[in-house]
Structure 1
Amino acid sequence: MSGKGFHVHGPHEHELEHAAHHEPKGFAGKLAVITAILATVGAFFSYTGGVTQVNAALYKNDAAIKKTEASNQWAFYQAKSSKQNLSELALDLSNNEEQKAKYRDKIARYEKEKAEIKANAEKLEEESKHFDEMSAEEIHLHHRWAQATTALQVSIALAAITLLTKKRWMEWATIAAGLVGVALGGAAWMHI
């Protein structure tokens, strides 16, 4: 019946007003700030770890594409080798000088084409190898970011246990786990 200036407060409203108008103090307040910082840093680490995982998959895909292209070039090289071998056989079997000249030209052409195809295939294989290396590096970083995120999650869980048990030594365990997480994140950031 608040129409006549009378208002009944719920049991939780006093606590909400108190929390809104007063900063957290003491042990619980410090743990709340530490937990918020750890959660924020952990979110950044988690996002960055996800990015490295996606990059690793993309690089691995690029490596597979380049490897397939190289394989196609090697098949083309093999086809040219077969044609060259047939021309060499025809040259050996031919008695006509005009025909022999034609086969010698074909053999020379196939040899030149094979050299170009081989160079292209080797280049594609190197590109594939490079993408594989980039993928491996991204996977390493992903693992490092995941380790950092996990350490921060453990630290946040320790903060909750600390708040429930009100044990001061647990606060130090929370901070230590958080520092391990930040150190692992730093190692990932520096590509170590």
Structure 2
Amino acid sequence: MEEIEIPTEHLHEAIKEKTEEHAGKEGGKSTLYIAVSTALMAVLAAIAGLLAGHHSNEALIEQVKASDQWAWYQAKSIKAAISALNPVKKENAPTPEQVKKDGEAIMDKAKEAEKNSEFHLNKHKTLAAAVTLFQVAIAVSAISILTKKTLLWYTGVVIALAGFGFLIAGIL
């Protein structure tokens, strides 16, 4: 699975320009708070993106392991069926009970790998939601600087807090 890209470079440039433009003017301090909080949102988005990519990769690896186990299970089952049909029994041929026991162990490993894959995929989805919320919060905060509307910044902070909630849920 591919990693989540976080295109925020142009927002950082716009925020920096507006911060410098407002420096020394009335409201320059609030612009600084907005700029710092937006940078923090970008850091959290990057962390969430990195973790989402990790869990995506782990989900894929676990799914491959599960597929391998199921293929092995099928191969052993086919081999046992062919062996059972052969009128000449080999002296070290596995008994049907051994085949069943081995098959159950392989099946258990396959199911465990599938369970792990699903766990990582759910973490990926949660962290991807966090990235999305952080990106929206960054955009709203950038718009607040451009429009000089502090209410938009508060909205961005609320959205970022929701993203932080998803980030924490994805970590735990």
**TM-score calculated relative to the size of structure 2:** 0.80
Q: Residue 121 of structure 1: CA displacement?
A: 1.7
Give the one of 148, 151, 154 matched to 2:130.
148
Equivalent residue for 1:167?
Answer: 149
Provide the identity percentage: 21
Equivalent residue for 2:37?
Answer: 34
List, as ranges, runs of 4+ consecutive aligned residues in structure 1 with deviation greater than 4 Å.
22-25, 106-110
How far, CA to CA, are the matches of 2:36 and 2:91 in structure 1?
77
Equivalent residue for 1:82?
Answer: 85
Equivalent residue for 2:108?
Answer: 126
**1:189 lines up with 2:166 in the alignment:** no
How far, CA to CA, are the matches of 2:56 and 2:75 in structure 1?
29
- Residues 32 and 76 (structure 1 numbering): CA distance in 2 closer, same or farther, change over 3 Å? same
How far, CA to CA, are the matches of 1:130 and 1:34 in structure 2?
42
On the 8 A contact 1:77/1:118 being kept in 2, the answer is no
Aligned length: 150
On the 8 A contact 1:66/1:125 being kept in 2, the answer is yes
How far, CA to CA, are the matches of 1:64 and 1:109 in structure 2?
28
**1:67 lines up with 2:49 in the alignment:** no
- Residues 115 and 108 (structure 1 numbering): CA distance in 2 closer, same or farther, change over 3 Å? farther
Equivalent residue for 1:10?
Answer: none
Q: Deviations over 1:20-59 (max 9, x none)?
A: xx89941210111001101011101000000000000000
Equivalent residue for 2:3?
Answer: none
Is the helix fraction higher in 1 or 2?
Answer: 1
Equivalent residue for 1:51?
Answer: 54
Q: Residue 69 of structure 1: CA displacement?
A: 0.5
How far, CA to CA, are the matches of 1:179 and 1:35 in structure 2?
12
Q: Residue 107 of structure 1: CA displacement?
A: 9.7
Equivalent residue for 1:139?
Answer: 121
Q: Deviations over 1:130-183 (max 9, x none)?
A: 101100110000000000010000000001110011112111101100000000
On the 8 A contact 1:80/1:114 being kept in 2, the answer is no
| Unpaired stretches in structure 2, ≥5 consecutive residues | 1-16
Q: CA RMSD in A?
A: 2.3
Q: Residue 109 of structure 1: CA displacement?
A: 7.1
Return the letter of the residue paired with 1:116.
Q
Of residues 73-82 and 113-122 in structure 1, the stretch that sits farther from structure 2 once superposed is 113-122
Q: Which has the larger radius of gyration?
A: 1
